[in-house]
Structure 1
Amino acid sequence: MSGTDIPDEWLVRFIRGTVAATFSVTAEGYVVDVPEWTRLTGQTAEQARGAGWMSALHESDAERAKAAWQTAVMHGTNYNTDYRVRCADGIYRWFNARAVPILSTDGEILRWVGAILSIPGSFRFGQQEPIADTFDDISPAALRAARAMLGWSAEKLAEEADISRSTIRRLESDDSNISARRTNIARILHALSNHGLILLGHNGVVMGVTEDYSSPHIRG
């Protein structure tokens, strides 16, 4: 069976089985009815209408998510950001939200369609403090990847974290068996997260990073 032979109902089943919620909203970006969101958050349809859905976001993420959504709607660009949602059970969980504009033949936005995906891993759930504060180490590969995403030299990261360049080089070496001081690790992680990177990992160790495209620090 080729990709074009896949029945539409199979695609719908796949989407509903892999995302937390889907949505279709007006060209202006305002919610009319999103039943999956109401089931996810416990909000009523009336509470979610317009921009009311944002009241279910964590207070530390709401303004950033709002700015990212407004920017996408204003410029007709794809939307992609992470935020914490207060779920129906009262627990905040991390989700990735993304959406694309549906255009007419004249290039006018008809509506927006999108999906909200759960971000797996208990380290992303229920955090009340900055993500950097939940980690106490970073893998060499993750540190190298973070510098590459930011376009930073080792000297630049050392300057931003207020530590020595030799410490950065040692932490990036796969052969190093010397542990860095906890305070140096904390400075590095805060420098990375403060400049628009989202830290991903488990058991207290950052194993990867991703870009928060709503951050003004990310190159675009």
Structure 2
Amino acid sequence: MKLKALPLKQFNITNLPEKYYMIHPDTQMTKINDVIGYGVIATKLIPKGTIVWILDDLTQRLDESFVHNLDEVRKKELLKYCYRYRSGEFAFVWDLGRFLNHNSNPNCITTAYDFEIAVRDIYPGEEITIDYGTLNLDEPFECLRNDEEAGVRHTILPDDPLNLYSEWDKKAAEAMSYFNQVEQPLKHLINDKYKDKVIAVAAGIETIDSSINIYYKKGSVNSDNT
């Protein structure tokens, strides 16, 4: 099925059929400010414990050799919207998730189950943010600065997951206790291999798997290729 192209100012994820959702449907891309540029905001209340973004099979996974053999122009543009999957592949995000901005105190935290969960209520008009430390960067990355933000970690390091995973895990575990109390429009996209564990964690039967499982050390071989 072909998706009708829309002018940027009219683009909203709610214009897409439900099966194409990968980011929460109550979201919209907008200009945040002149420093940061564009980002994604909530258009309705997204309660704590809600899956806000999830990896699905429309995301392209590209081998490292393919990416690095591209011409410099295409490679630069591609890497702008990619992150490293735990297997070492580059995951090219196709939806509004690629416009999510960094914050060192984000309202969404990654999990070992290939989704980002809201760790506090996200109100209409509030920007949706993640921690770029979870993206498995190959080299340090300096985020654009917003002078209005105090105490924000602007330099993202490749080994951030090794230093921050316990903090992320604590927030994700607490958010998962709300999982069954809120609507989950993206729940049907949870990978089959994680479904039973997610259900058990949400019910308080099992503890959450650590986000250290998403870490990819450059040059290593990770057996998780799914």
Q: Tell me the TM-score normalized by structure 2.
A: 0.23
- Where relative contact order (Cα < 8 A, 6+ residues apart) is larger, the structure is 2
Higher helix share: 1
Higher strand share: 1
Q: Which has the larger radius of gyration?
A: 1
